[in-house]
Amino acid sequence: MSALAMTLSALLAGGQMHDMANMPGMQMPAKPQPAAPVRKRPARRAAPAASAETMHGMDMSAPAGACSPEHAAMGHCKVATPAPAPEAATDACPPEHAAMGHCTPAAAKPEVDVAAPAGTDQPAGDAPPPAPPADRAAARFYDPAAMAQADRTMRAMHGGMRFSQVIFNLAEAQVQRGRDGYRWDGEGWFGGDIDRLVVKSEGEGGFGDRVDDAEVQALYARALDPYWNLQAGVRQDLGAGARRSYAVVGVEGLAPYWFDVEGAVFLSDKGDVLARGEAWYDQRITQRAILQPRVELNLAAQDMPDSRIGAGLSSAEVGVRLRYELRREVAPYVGVSWERRYGATARYARSDGERTGGIALALGVRAWF
C-alpha cells in the first residue's frame, strides 16, 4: 500500500513539471550539453642529455646577440663576457701582475735635457753644426790605422775627392770670303766641389799669319751654390796686339732653363776696363745629335787704340753649331757664325784694311778629357 502510494506521488509530480514547462511565461533552464572530447597533444621528446664526455672541453659561452636571456636561464648557453682590457701602462705595475697580463709596465723613459737640444732638433740660426759622432762600432774590432784609412776613403767617396777636366768648347776652322782662319776657346780646371783652379784660353788667327788675338786667364773659382761659381784672377793678352795684363772678376754657372752663362770684368794695368758676356744652350735632338746656339758680347769703357778696341759695344757674335757625339768626349760639329764690330772698333778695322763683320762656316770638334 505504501509502495503504491509512492509510485502515484512520483507520477503526479512528473506531470506537474511537464505542465509547468508548457505554461506561458515559464522558461526552464537548458539541459547541459556534453563537453567535446579534448585531444591530447603528443608529448615532445626531450633531447638526449649531453654526456660528461661530450661536455668536457666544450665552450658553452656564446656571443651576447646569440644567447637570449631565457636560454641562458635554462642553462642552454652562456653569455660571453668581453675579456677585461689590459690596464694602461703605468708606473705602478708590479712584476707579478705584469707576468699574468693584468697590466703593462711603462717603458723606461730616456732622460732628455730640454735645455740642450741634440741632432737635428736645433733652433733656426747660424750656429755651428753639432760635432759628428766619434764612437764607431767597428773601432772595437779593427786597428786604429785601418779605421783611419777607411774613414779617409769614405770621405773621398762622399765628395771629398779632387777632380780635373780639360775641355775645348770651340776648336774650329772658319771659312769665310776673302780670308780663312781658325779659332779656339777652352779651359781646364782642377779641384773639388767648392774650390778650384781654372785656366782659360781663347784666340783666333788666319792661316799662314800670326795669331791675331789670344789671351790666357788663371782664376780661382769658389762655389756660391750648386749652380754658380765666383771667379777671380789674372789675364794676360798675347798675339799681335798690345800685350796687356788684367785683373779679372767674374761668374759662371747654369742659369734657369739650362743656359750656360759666363760673365767677367777686366781691369788692365793701364786702367782700361773691359767686359765680356757669353751664353749658350745645348738642345738635344737625339741622344748624340746636339744643336748649340751661342752668343758673345764684348764691351769697353773707353777707347783703346793700341788694342784696336773702341768704347761701348765693341763686337758681337752669334752662331749655331750642330755636333754629333761619337763618344761623350769627342763630338765633331758644323755650324755658321756671324760677327760684327761696332763704333770705334769698326773704324779701327776699316783703317787696317780688315772687314767689320760677316758670316763664316765653322768646322770643328768639341772634346774633353
**Considering only 48-62, 91-105, 165-179, 324-338, which range has the smallest mean pLDDT?**
48-62
Mark out the alpha helices in 142-265 (DSSP H runs). Answer: 144-155
**299 touches 314 (CB < 8 A):** yes
Hunting for cell 778696341 — which residue is that?
309
**Considering only 21-25, 90-94, 161-165, 297-301, which range has the smallest mean pLDDT?**
21-25
Q: In 3D, which of 70, 116, 262, 124 has the Cα closest to residue 185? A: 262
Q: What is the percent of the chain with per-residue pLDDT over 90, rounded to a whole number?
A: 48
pLDDT digits (tens, 9 = 90+) for 100-130: 877 877 765 555 555 566 666 767 778 777 7
**Considering only 21-25, 123-127, 161-165, 304-308, which range has the smallest mean pLDDT?**
21-25
Domains annotated for the chain, with CATH where assigned, are 163-368 (2.40.160.40)
Look at residue 101 in the predicted model and tell me its pLDDT: 77
Look at residue 79 in the predicted model and tell me its pLDDT: 64
Confidence of residue 58 (pLDDT cuts 50, 70, 90): very low
Q: Where is pLDDT greater, at 329 or 134?
A: 329
pLDDT surpasses 60 at 319: yes
pLDDT digits (tens, 9 = 90+) for 13-41: 554 444 444 444 445 555 555 555 555 55
**345 touches 307 (CB < 8 A):** no
Ramachandran region, residue 308 (left: φ > 0; alpha: ψ -120 to 50; beta: rest): left
Mark out the alpha helices in the chain (DSSP H runs). Answer: 2-21, 52-55, 69-73, 95-99, 144-155, 343-351
pLDDT digits (tens, 9 = 90+) for 231-265: 999 999 998 778 899 999 999 999 999 999 999 99
Look at residue 161 in the predicted model and tell me its pLDDT: 77
Provide the Cα torsion 274, 226, 130, 145; round to 10°. -100
Look at residue 278 in the predicted model and tell me its pLDDT: 97
Look at residue 281 in the predicted model and tell me its pLDDT: 97
**262 touches 219 (CB < 8 A):** no
Task: Supply angle C-alpha 299, 337, 174, rounded to 5.
Answer: 110
Name the DSSP class of 193: S
Look at residue 56 in the predicted model and tell me its pLDDT: 43
- For the chain, the average pLDDT equals 80
Confidence of residue 63 (pLDDT cuts 50, 70, 90): low
pLDDT digits (tens, 9 = 90+) for 341-362: 999 999 999 998 888 889 999 9
Look at residue 105 in the predicted model and tell me its pLDDT: 73
Angstrom distance (rounded) from CA 86 to CA 101: 7
Side-chain half-sphere exposure of 60, counting CA atoms within 13 A: 12
pLDDT digits (tens, 9 = 90+) for 70-100: 777 777 777 666 555 554 444 568 777 777 8
Task: Supply angle C-alpha 137, 138, 144, rounded to 5.
Answer: 120
